[in-house]
Structure 1
Amino acid sequence: MYQLALLYLACVLAGFGLANLPSSAIVTAEIANIFDLVGGIAIIVFGVAILYLGFKSLFNKR
């Protein structure tokens, strides 16, 4: 379960990397905007998944 949480954390960090990608000669402004959107969605989705794992672990009745 900890490996899954670390994988989700890595995905959140990758989302931050995509969201902060600067535009350059290779990456145009339009593509950078798409990366911003994809990065934001990844941050939200995997952040919620980490919260779910945390609440599931917190309320586990073992």
Structure 2
Amino acid sequence: MGNFVFLFLACILAGFALINLPLAGSALAAIQPITSLIGILAILVFSLVLIFKGIIALVDK
């Protein structure tokens, strides 16, 4: 599972990208709240997974 750490970090960065996605003035402006919500959830979930993996790594040693 250690190989997935970079994937989790990439998912966190993708969450930040979704939050900062400029949709104002386009046809997709109506889904701005949805993209922000998905971005926030992605950041929270994958950050918690990384914290959990770090705690497990510390306890195992």
Q: TM-score range by the shorter chain?
A: 0.7 to 0.9
Deviation at 1:34, TM superposition (A): 0.5
Aligned to 2:13: 13
Deviation above 4 Å: which 4+ runs of structure 1? none
CA RMSD of aligned residues (A): 1.2
Deviation at 1:26, TM superposition (A): 3.8
Gaps of 5+ in 2: none
TM-score (norm 1): 0.85
> Matches of 2:58 and 2:28 in 1, distance apart?
43
- Paired residues in the alignment total 60
SS of equivalent to 1:25: coil
SS of equivalent to 1:59: helix
Alignment of 1:1-62 (within 5 A): 1-23=1-23, 24-28=25-29, 30-61=30-61
Gaps of 5+ in 1: none
TM-score (norm 2): 0.87
Q: Percent identity?
A: 40
Higher helix share: 2
